[in-house]
Structure formats: C-alpha cells, structure tokens
C-alpha cells in the first residue's frame, strides 16, 4: 500500500470510530474545498483541519510529499511552495 492509500485508510478508520475527520465528514460540495482552485476556499478547509483526529498523520504525509496538491494538515499547496515560510505546529492547528 502506498503512503496516500495508508493515509486514506487511517482517516477512514478514525471516521468509523466516530472521530472527527473534516475532509470526510462534510457534504460532497464542502469536501471540494480541500481540492479547490480558489485560495479562499482552501483557506476555509485548512482551518477546519485544526480539529481533525488525523492531523498528525496527515502532517507526516505532506511533509514527505510537499508537492501534493490541495489542503493537507491545515496547509494549502500554495503555503507549501518552496520559499514560503512553513506554519508552526501551533499555527497549523496542532495541540
């Protein structure tokens, strides 16, 4: 299983256990914010990540795959571009 599939499986398990996973817990229309071209929509999705039970695993995934497109672990692809300062764990919603 590749790392994207592992992350997805982990998030599915958390959701099945009743834990919050905002990118999976919202309506199909709202889930599009995580992959939207609109930066304002991505910013909304990134803020919703703060309460996610899978935030730490998602953060590890995106640190290993910084070129992934969309919102991961409270950061947008735009924020992860080379030369942009990384968010501190607290700013990214870590507890």
pTM: 0.78
State residue 91's pLDDT score.
46
Q: Cα separations (Å) of 55 from 6, 51, 83?
A: 14, 8, 23
- How does pLDDT run across 33-57, given as a tens digit for each residue? 999 999 999 999 999 999 999 999 9
Cβ count within 10 A of residue 48: 20
- How does pLDDT run across 22-37, given as a tens digit for each residue? 999 878 888 899 999 9
Q: How many domains does the chain have?
A: 1
Per-residue pLDDT at 85 exceeds 50: yes
What domain range includes position 70?
1-95
What torsion do the CA atoms of 34, 38, 43, 49 make, to the nearest 10 degrees? 0
CA 87, 89, 91, 94 torsion-angle sign: positive
HSE-CB of 83 using CA atoms within 13 angstroms: 0
């Amino acid at each position: 299983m590749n790392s994207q599939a592992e992350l997805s499986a982990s998030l599915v398990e958390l959701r099945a256990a009743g834990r919050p996973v905002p990118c999976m817990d919202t309506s199909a229309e709202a889930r599009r914010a995580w992959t939207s071209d609109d930066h304002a929509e991505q910013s909304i999705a990134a803020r919703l990540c703060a309460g996610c039970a899978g935030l730490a695993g998602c953060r590890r995934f995106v640190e290993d795959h910084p070129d992934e497109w969309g919102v991961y672990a409270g950061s947008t692809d735009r924020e992860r571009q080379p030369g942009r300062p990384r968010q501190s764990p607290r700013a990214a919603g870590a507890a």
